[in-house]
Structure 1
Amino acid sequence: MVDEEKQEILIDVKNLKLAYGTGDDSILALEDINLKIRRGEFLCVLGPSGCGKSTLLKTMAGYIKPTEGNCLMQGEAIEGPDWHRGVVFQSSTLYPWMSVKDNVEFGPKMRGLPAEEIEEIRAYFLEQVKLAGFGDKFIFELSGGMKQRVALARVLANYPQVILMDEPFGALDALTRNNMQNLIRNIWKDNNTTIFFITHDVDEALCLGTRIVVMSKRPGTILKEFNVGFTHQIFEHNSKDVVYKEDYFDIKNEILDLINSQIEE
């Protein structure tokens, strides 16, 4: 395991409060959130529906400004969207009028990189997401899982320091979802990527994350954090699946109890 204290802090959320609206119509979505995301970790976020998980992600992405507190990227206030923070949503949000390769090349082209470098980046990441040979296809020709792989390649092509993922596999069938989980785990390891990953699936969080954060019902606060190593075990055993032992089920049951306590209150 990597010593967390020695890892660089990429995103630092301090005393974050976020409310929608003003006056009597305001809704407090997040309250007193303190969270550090370190380079190279895979942080998964769980919590009941409506607890503010997506709001927290959008604040980190720069889409929403905090009502109070700070959201910092390498010590600097996040003022708006930035290619250093790539975002993948549940729907692929690709440009449907562009081909696969044009979607993947879009970011590097906007940054003014040389044509030869752009081609190398596109070829590398299409290979990583197992879509080599699909560059000339249009988005409407692809399955849901393939669209998500293109969306992932498009984000990776910018070499972001952090990838923020909002239930990216939630709309996929079980088999495709499992394949995408294995894909993102391998990409995370091979590229030393840092990932913030929202999910409703406790097993998904356990089989991917190096750390899990559980949030309360609205207004969202952090109830508990878990440091987990099941994704490392998968690599150690050269397997695609977690070795299910007592410690796995102990953590899973504790997380489920935490989430259910919020729903039942």
Structure 2
Amino acid sequence: MDNLYKETLIKIENLTVNYQTKTGLIEALKDVNLELKKGEFLCILGPSGCGKSTLLRVIAGFIPLTSGKCLMHENPIEGPDWHRGVVFQSPTLYPWLTVKGNIEFGPKSRGVPKDKIEEISKFFIQEVDLEGFEEKYPFELSGGMKQRVALARVLANYPEVILMDEPFGSLDAFTRSNMQNLIRNIWQENNCSIFFITHDVDEALMLGTKVLVMSPRPGKIIKEFTLDFTNKLLTQKAKDILHTEEYFNTKSEILDLINFQSVI
């Protein structure tokens, strides 16, 4: 299965991130090494405070690294770039813009021709199932609908990498399940490359082609799992996968890793 993903988009080598607080220096990440290849759905798991979000923000270009390398196409990441789109846990929509206006904001800012912008917004409104809501404002939408707009706004820029920081964590169970199915379908249909942070082991297993487990702070990668449960959902029901020995053993190993690391 590794042969499916050959081209490396993001490469991190010996990454360390420290930052200063009022109480002293915090070592958030230490000697992190990972690769995100084209078409992969990479999920990051780890205990609270282990540096998952810090890692995402370094890749996004929001914060600097202390030492090591963070590269995209072998070039250092030195700031935000539309080639790396970010979806946060809370949707950061422009309240004065409609659904359509939010989705079109990125392409307009980049000077995309008007007819192409119309084509893009129509396509992604359909992709996230928001037809009929184009002229609604964020305050008129449910939490799940807002998150779909946030996802469509990122997708409208056609980024090479989508960075998602616990994007479904604040949603109810039913909406969360629907959003998981939505992002899986979008990933499979569009051959996206996704870097996805979550606290939910089942979410990581049912979405990721690769799952990385991090240690408590200072965060480092302690185990990598290459998986295929998300692709199996094309032909199998979720309940049939959840009850397999492979799924149970993988989940148990991840939980043991996280729980053991949290107590030592």
| TM-score normalised according to structure 1 size | 0.97
Q: Distance in 2 between matches of 1:263 and 1:201?
A: 16
SS in 2 for 1:29: strand
Match of residue 152 from structure 1? 151
Where do 1:22-33 residues align within 5 Å?
25-33=24-32
1:168 correspondence with 2:140: no
Q: Distance in 2 between matches of 1:2 and 1:22?
A: 41
The CA deviation at 1:236 is 2.8
The CA deviation at 1:34 is 0.6
Listed one character per residue, the Cα deviations across residues 35-92 of structure 1 (whole Å, up to 9, x for unaligned) are: 1000000000000000000000000000011100110011110010000000000000
SS in 2 for 1:226: strand
How many residues are aligned here? 263
AA at the equivalent of 2:105: F
For the Cα contact (< 8 Å) 1:233–1:242, is it kept in 2? no
The CA deviation at 1:262 is 1.8
AA at the equivalent of 1:3: N
Q: Distance in 2 between matches of 1:253 and 1:240?
A: 18
Deviating above 3 A after TM superposition, structure 1's stretches of 4 or more consecutive aligned residues are: 239-242
Q: Distance in 2 between matches of 1:22 and 1:123?
A: 45
Match of residue 243 from structure 1? 241
1:3 correspondence with 2:6: no
Match of residue 136 from structure 1? 135
Q: Distance in 2 between matches of 1:51 and 1:22?
A: 16
AA at the equivalent of 1:130: D
Where do 1:117-136 residues align within 5 Å?
117-136=116-135
Name the CA shift for 1:135/1:23 in 2 (closer, same or farther; >3 Å): closer
For the Cα contact (< 8 Å) 1:234–1:242, is it kept in 2? no
AA at the equivalent of 1:77: P
Match of residue 18 from structure 1? 17
Where do 1:213-224 residues align within 5 Å?
213-224=212-223
Where do 1:1-265 residues align within 5 Å?
1=1, 3=3, 7-21=6-20, 25-237=24-236, 239=237, 243-244=241-242, 245-265=244-264
Using the TM superposition, name which of 14-23 and 66-75 deviates more: 14-23
Q: Distance in 1 between matches of 2:139 and 2:195?
A: 28
The CA deviation at 1:19 is 0.1
Q: Could you say what the CA RMSD is over the residues aligned between the two structures, in angstroms?
A: 1.4
The CA deviation at 1:199 is 0.3
Q: Distance in 1 between matches of 2:239 and 2:122?
A: 29
Q: Distance in 2 between matches of 1:178 and 1:96?
A: 26
Q: Distance in 1 between matches of 2:23 and 2:175?
A: 45
Listed one character per residue, the Cα deviations across residues 180-207 of structure 1 (whole Å, up to 9, x for unaligned) are: 0000000000000000000000000000
SS in 2 for 1:21: strand
Name the CA shift for 1:131/1:15 in 2 (closer, same or farther; >3 Å): same
For the Cα contact (< 8 Å) 1:234–1:241, is it kept in 2? no
The CA deviation at 1:133 is 1.7
Unpaired stretches in structure 2, ≥5 consecutive residues: none
Identity rate, percent: 63
For the Cα contact (< 8 Å) 1:14–1:35, is it kept in 2? yes
Name the CA shift for 1:240/1:117 in 2 (closer, same or farther; >3 Å): farther
Q: Distance in 1 between matches of 2:192 and 2:112?
A: 21
